[in-house]
Amino acid sequence: MTRTVYVNGSFVAEDEACISIFDRGFLFADAVYEVTSVLDGRLIDFAGHMKRLARSLRELSMPAPADEAALLEIHRELVRLNDVVEGLVYLQVSRGAAERDFAWGVDMQPSLVMFTQSKPLIANPLAATGVRVITWPDQRWGRRDIKTVQLLYSSLAKMAAKEQGCGDAWLVEDGLVTEGTSNNAWIVTRDGVLVTRGLSHDILHGITRAAVMRLAGEAQIKVEERPFTVAEAQEAAEAFSTSASAFVMPVVAIDGVELGDGKPGPVARRLREIYVEESRRAAV
Ligand code: PMP
């Protein structure tokens, strides 16, 4: 079955979609993206993703390809055309196409590409077993708060994890965990306190991170926003990661050191449940 995707104003079959080889997204990774999850055919935290998209665009002086209402309509139409009940909608905005030159023209027309992936998110088998992670030096650029498509370094780290029989890598800078390759990193201390790195240019400002922080507060779970070392994480009662595509994902081992009994912990499991329940309720 071929998907219907969206390219600059048109809904087309995926094998007929095209974009210029001079697109700066292709030549310079001059593009930003968002990934919104779909549950029951509805969008999770759409407003949060659009707010972050606007911020990424602003930080790169890139014009918005469409307003939020138009983007919501395109998201909904793609979900409908592809019968997505559970899955993801990817949105990618590049600065557009021009003759190859490091400097860009200020009047360029951005390109907008969107596509869906249908996949089970709630019944993700990894949620039952948890994920084993390796640690890996964080050698990405210094503006990780901007959600650009320059994901090669994260792909290399993920491949290194795979080669070691693990599911992901936690990136480390100056001895402190920044985040996962495509998620925010959390630990649960032995006193039951959630710890996750504070917002700065060092990490992506995760939409799921923000939601979990709010839900933890409502559930009277204490949250500390501060960096933590690999050793502190290995000593923790539990660990997990958060992302729009994997929700709250338990982490059960770090560099071969198992946390607790090596199974998903109760706090991560509970937060996953609360997150899914609340997200379904508030979906649009
Ligand atoms: N950090 C990185 C590097 C990511 O790629 C992602 C997911 N795109 C996240 C964190 C989590 O962000 P969100 O909860 O908005 O998906």
Asked if 26 and 143 sit in the same domain, the reply is: no
Q: Any alpha helices (H) in the chain, and if so which ranges?
A: 24-28, 46-59, 68-81, 125-129, 152-163, 207-218, 230-235, 266-282
pTM assigned to the model: 0.97
Lay out the sheet containing 4-7: strands in order across.
Answer: 10-13, 4-7, 111-118, 87-94, 31-39, 42-43
Asked if 151 and 244 sit in the same domain, the reply is: yes
Asked if 166 and 249 sit in the same domain, the reply is: yes
Q: What is the dihedral of CA 111, 17, 118, 205, to 10 degrees?
A: -20
Closest ligand 1 atom to 203 CA: 1
Residue 278 structural domain: 125-282
Q: Which of 182, 203, 249 to mutate to test the pocket of ligand 1 (most atoms within 8 A of CB)?
A: 182
Q: 82-85 long-range CB contacts below 8 Å, 24 or more apart?
A: 82/3, 82/4, 82/116, 82/118, 83/118, 84/38, 84/41, 84/116, 84/118, 85/38, 85/40, 85/41, 85/118
Q: How far is the CA of 181 from the centre of ligand 1 (A)?
A: 8
Write down the pLDDT at residue 211.
Answer: 98
Write down the pLDDT at residue 129.
Answer: 98
Question: In DSSP terms, which residues pair with 185 in a beta bridge?
Answer: 241
> What are 206's two structure tokens?
């995760």
User: What's the total number of domains in the chain?
Assistant: 2
Asked if 106 and 10 sit in the same domain, the reply is: yes
Asked if 231 and 253 sit in the same domain, the reply is: yes
Asked if 242 and 170 sit in the same domain, the reply is: yes
Asked if 49 and 148 sit in the same domain, the reply is: no
Q: Any alpha helices (H) in 61-140, and if so which ranges?
A: 68-81, 125-129
Q: How far is the CA of 107 from the centre of ligand 1 (A)?
A: 30
What lines the ligand 1 site, CB under 6 Å? 35, 179, 182-184, 204, 206-209, 242-244
- DSSP, collapsed to helix, strand or coil, labels residue 233 as helix
Taken as a whole, the chain contains a residue count of 284
CA of 277: how far to CAs of 166, 189, 284, in Å?
Answer: 29, 25, 14
User: Where does a domain end: 78, 95, 118?
Assistant: 118
Write down the pLDDT at residue 30.
Answer: 98
User: Where does a domain end: 84, 118, 152?
Assistant: 118
Asked if 111 and 226 sit in the same domain, the reply is: no
Write down the pLDDT at residue 193.
Answer: 98
CATH of the domain at 48: 3.30.470.10
Asked if 185 and 252 sit in the same domain, the reply is: yes
Asked if 50 and 70 sit in the same domain, the reply is: yes
User: Where does a domain end: 59, 94, 118?
Assistant: 118
Question: Which residue ranges in the chain fall short of pLDDT 70?
Answer: none
Question: In DSSP terms, which residues pair with 10 in a beta bridge?
Answer: 7
How many angstroms separate the CA atoms of 204 and 182, rounded?
9
> What are 76's two structure tokens?
């909904």
Write down the pLDDT at residue 246.
Answer: 98
Asked if 23 and 113 sit in the same domain, the reply is: yes
CATH of the domain at 174: 3.20.10.10
Write down the pLDDT at residue 1.
Answer: 72
Q: How far is the CA of 99 from the centre of ligand 1 (A)?
A: 32
Amino acid of residue 2: T
CB 275 within 8 A of CB 33: no
